[in-house]
Amino acid sequence: MSRLLRVCLALCAALGLAAAKPRPAAKPQPAALKANGDVPPPGAAAELLDLATGRSRAVGPMLESLTEYQATAMADGRVLITGGSLQGPRTQWFDPGTRAFTPGPPMTIARQGHRALLLKDGRLLLLGGTEAPAPAEVLAPGAARFEALPAEAAFGLSADAVALDDGKALLVDGASGRIFTWDGRKTVRPQATLSRPRIFFTAVRLKDGRVAITGGWPSEQAPRKGAKGRGPSGPGSPSLPVECFNPKWSTLSTWKALPRPRARHRATLLADGRICLWAGYGADVNGACETLELLDPVKETVTPAGRLPLNGNPTPAWTLGPDGSGLYLPEGRQELRAAADPLALTTPGEQPGLKQPGERLAPMQTGERLALTPPGEQPALTPPGEQPALTPPGEQPALTPLGGPRARLANAFLAPTLVALPAGQVLVLGSAAWGVPVDRWDPRTRQWSIVGSLRAGVQSLALTPDGKLLALGPIVDLLDPRTGAQQALGWREDLGPLLRTAHAPEPLAPAQPPFKAGQGRQDSLVVPLDKLRALVVGGCSEGTATPSGAAELWDRKKNTLSALPGPRTHRAFPASGLVQGGLKLPDGSVLVWGAGQE
């Protein structure tokens, strides 16, 4: 064999061995996290709820932010949102088919806090909600704009309207106390005047055809132009009597029995003909009226009927669902409750008369735990017999809603509005209620920065194996720890594979930082930075309940504390089910979250 041949054979053998040698397996790359456009984003002002699935879906953004508007389901299936604009007499259409908002027909005048009444023939009547008295206006089906009614009848800031049996409508101007009937065409006739003019009242039609005017504050307490607020904030308003108007005889009667002072409340006609007064403000804007009262139109009596906890939030949403049952959404909550009537929402076993008129409960804590799992069910992501990996120690079990659960939302709302639509859908509107604030500590500068607020309902933060930050609640959001930007990834129960790989902050073994004598704090947060150092944040000074804004660097080898600048939000971290905690990020910075004081 020639030398050249031997060299060639050796090269071939070497190449064959190299080809046969297995290559190391490539490390799997984490899947990119993508926003779920069907899930309502954090802070959205509207959601479309499907009662069949119990979930809400994202809708297009509203054309502008609104306050004190009205939303009415029209005969063509769309919703017309009127008033509440700071840019003039604008309206918006919402189409549940496209889930989009588009410009609607202009009103004749800008309105806020007005009344919208859908008539039997499909027309929409608007009145009130103006600083200076102005005529009512009506929109015919298919019309391009609203048309004003005769100027002889003018309505100011607070007004109400009730449809009558004969196709007419009863119109009430609260400030002047004047009562009119409108024939549905061009004629508006004065009928009577309230003995006690009032603002922010509610009118309700009784089964015998009469109309009861309930609640409100005396009209002399109406806010003047340029004044702050929407009602009295000083001494409480007196109770105003129920006044009943009989359209058949154009007579007005006044009850002797007095209900509690309340305004911007709800008056619900019950199946037995009585009226349930509930929710709203009490004697002034500083408190909610939590006592329910029953008005008997036959006996003209007022009877307390239980208590509905409102946590200082006086304007919950209520509407009748497609099946005729009531749907109730408290302010700042994410779970709808189903009830036959408001009486079914009262606290079991509560007796009336426990609160003084206008007395206010302690406000709901920001970030208070909300139900994530229907009562009686196990969390979908927890294997039987195991503890949920992402549940903070000591956390309380899910709350069981009064009146029975019905559906849940992605966001919580202040001053919410519910609009029942065909096919078991409900449009939910309101101002977004955010969850707890988050602060970030930078170890290089040793300074704090404000990240922002989490979505309402978030319970904890967690990290994925590749360092992505997740905000965990009924919805899982991807959170940018530097900018505070959040993207909805999906409903928690749909993200099992992702959540099984995520890890929450590990609680530090109980240890008391070495505070100096007389400067000790309890319920401080301790976040490990490494084996020898920890960040100490907040807590309460001994013997007080006031949270501290202090922060220290704990050298656990020397057992000494070095003072650091503190975060803007002062917090305490008791062992409870509140949403709070701290988490060290891969870059060494620390996030601290929870309710507190600035």
**Considering the domain boundaries, does residue 573 fall inside one?**
yes
The answer to whether 551 touches 537, Cβ cutoff 8 Å, is yes
Give me the long-range contacts of 185-189 (CB less than 8 A, separation at least 24): 186/149, 186/150, 187/150, 188/136, 188/149, 188/150, 188/152, 188/153
Q: Mean pLDDT of all residues in the chain?
A: 84
Kindly write down the DSSP assignment for every residue of 228-287, as one continuous string: SSSS--SSPPPP---EEEETTTTEEEE-SS-PPP-BS-EEEE-TTS-EEEE-SB-SSTT-
Encode pLDDT of 89-130 as tens digits. Answer: 999 999 999 999 999 999 999 999 999 999 999 999 999 999
233 pLDDT band, cuts 50/70/90, is: low
Mean pLDDT calculated for residue range 466-482: 95
- pLDDT given at position 354: 31
Supply φ then ψ for residue 146, to 5 degrees: -75, 155
Buried b (16+ CB within 10 A) or exposed e, 372-381: bbeeeeeeeb
**Considering the domain boundaries, does residue 587 fall inside one?**
yes
Encode pLDDT of 299-317 as tens digits. Answer: 999 999 999 999 889 999 9
pLDDT at position 230 over 80? no
**Considering the domain boundaries, does residue 568 fall inside one?**
yes
Encode pLDDT of 410-422 as tens digits. Answer: 999 999 999 999 9
- pLDDT given at position 357: 32
Task: Print the domain residue range for 543.
Answer: 508-598
**The CATH number of the domain where 212 resides is what?**
2.120.10.80
Domain total of the chain: 2
Residue 212 half-sphere exposure toward CB, CA atoms < 13 A: 27
Calpha distance 531→558 (Å, rounded): 12
Kindly write down the DSSP assignment for every residue of 3-43, as one continuous string: HHHHHHHHHHHHHHHHHHSPPPPPPPPPPPP---TTSPPTT
**Considering the domain boundaries, does residue 470 fall inside one?**
no
Calpha distance 405→328 (Å, rounded): 10
520: Cβ–Cβ under 8 A, 6 or more apart, which residues? 541, 542
Tokens of 60: 């297009």
Q: What three-state secondary structure class fits 540?
A: strand
Calpha distance 488→559 (Å, rounded): 42
Calpha distance 56→97 (Å, rounded): 14
- pLDDT given at position 547: 94
Mean pLDDT calculated for residue range 187-205: 96
Calpha distance 204→267 (Å, rounded): 7
- pLDDT given at position 324: 82
Q: What is the CA radius of gyration of the chain?
A: 30
The answer to whether 412 touches 334, Cβ cutoff 8 Å, is yes
Residue 121: Cβ within 10 Å count? 10
Encode pLDDT of 159-177 as tens digits. Answer: 999 999 888 999 999 999 9
User: For 119-133, 340-354, 427-441, which range has the lowest pLDDT when averaged over its residues?
Assistant: 340-354
Residue 356: Cβ within 10 Å count? 13
**Considering the domain boundaries, does residue 514 fall inside one?**
yes
pLDDT at position 21 over 80? no
Calpha distance 325→250 (Å, rounded): 34
Most confident of 10-19, 38-47, 492-501, 510-519: 38-47
**Considering the domain boundaries, does residue 533 fall inside one?**
yes
pTM for the full model? Answer: 0.84
51: region left, alpha or beta (phi > 0 left; psi from -120 to 50 alpha): alpha
Domain boundary among 323, 338, 371: 371
pLDDT at position 27 over 60? no
31: Cβ–Cβ under 8 A, 6 or more apart, which residues? none
pLDDT at position 277 over 50? yes
**Considering the domain boundaries, does residue 169 fall inside one?**
no
Residue 253 half-sphere exposure toward CB, CA atoms < 13 A: 13
**Considering the domain boundaries, does residue 144 fall inside one?**
no
